[in-house]
């Protein structure tokens, strides 16, 4: 039915569905203090998660004061509208379209003490797990810390395009790990920064996977 093409119906309906799906999962979150302590101390924070797992973080940080970067393509419209409904402020742009305006908005956001910016560093169109340079440059320009973030779930649907985009099924477990903050000196070159960033993301995944499999943690 074409009625469901109407965003006035599509957005609230999708919002309810996501809340139900994620609300029917058991969730364990570790490392939340890694971003909260910095925010409380007035340090700007960038939450970074790979594109395929963004929905779990969107739900976890719903109703928080979050600014987020999303592409301008049609697929990003619905998620952006849901994020706004849940209290987020959206910056629309990517390295391929409206990149300069989006980057300026990122810098403006991060210059506010204690602000929080959410980025999928390999989005919106990949390559998978290859970060764009914007996240590093923004952190260097504003003295923001980056929180590498990992998500695992026991039940999910995977939708494959340039990456696998996950939507959690009900009655599973979701494990979220907010990793240790990383920061980059302005004098560091981009290649070294990107290598360190990928290493931190991988390390956070390893911690999360270990905690997922260790019932005593």
Residue ranges per structural domain of the chain? 2-210
Determine the average pLDDT of the residues in 165-184: 96
Query: Taking the C-alpha atoms of 63, 68, 72 and 74 in order, what is their torsion angle to the nearest 10 degrees?
Result: -30
Buried b (16+ CB within 10 A) or exposed e, 65-104: ebbbbbbbeeebbebbbbbeebebebbbbbeeeeeeebbe
pLDDT tens-digit map of 70-80: 988 877 899 99
Give the burial class of 209: count Cβ atoms within 10 A of its Cβ; 0-12 exposed, 13-18 middle, 19 or more buried: middle
H/E stretch holding 118 reads strand 116-119
User: What is the pLDDT of the chain when averaged over all its residues?
Assistant: 91
H/E stretch holding 165 reads strand 164-168
Q: Which of 55-64, 80-89, 93-102, 126-135 has the lowest mean pLDDT?
A: 93-102
Q: Which residues pair with 146 in a beta bridge?
A: 46, 182
Model confidence band, residue 109 (pLDDT cutoffs 50, 70, 90) = very high
- Residue 4 has a pLDDT of 45
How is domain 2-210 classified at the CATH fold level?
Answer: Glycerol-3-phosphate (1)-acyltransferase (3.40.1130)
DSSP 52: G
| Cα distance between residue 133 and residue 146, in whole Å | 13
User: Cβ(56)–Cβ(169) under 8 Å?
Assistant: no
The reply to whether the predicted model has a pTM over 0.95 is no
């Amino acid at each position: 039915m074409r009625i469901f093409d109407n965003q006035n119906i599509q957005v609230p309906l999708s919002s309810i569905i996501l809340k139900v799906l994620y609300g029917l999962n058991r969730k364990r979150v570790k490392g939340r203090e890694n971003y909260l302590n910095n925010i409380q101390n007035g340090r700007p924070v960038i939450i970074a998660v790979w594109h395929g797992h963004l929905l779990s973080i969107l739900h976890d940080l719903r109703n928080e004061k979050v600014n987020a970067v999303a592409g301008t393509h049609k697929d990003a419209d619905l998620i952006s509208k849901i994020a706004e409904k849940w209290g987020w402020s959206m910056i629309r742009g990517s390295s391929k379209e409206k990149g300069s305006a989006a980057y300026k908005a990122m810098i403006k956001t991060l210059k506010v003490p204690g602000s929080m910016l959410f980025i999928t560093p390999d989005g919106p169109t990949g390559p998978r797990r290859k970060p764009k340079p914007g996240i590093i440059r923004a952190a260097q320009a504003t003295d923001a810390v980056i929180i590498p973030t990992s998500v695992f779930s026991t039940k999910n649907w995977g939708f494959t395009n340039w990456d696998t985009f996950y939507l959690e099924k009900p009655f599973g477990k979701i494990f979220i790990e907010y990793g240790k903050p990383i920061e980059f000196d302005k004098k560091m070159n981009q290649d070294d920064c990107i290598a360190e960033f990928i290493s931190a993301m991988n390390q956070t995944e390893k911690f999360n996977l270990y905690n997922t499999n260790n019932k005593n943690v």
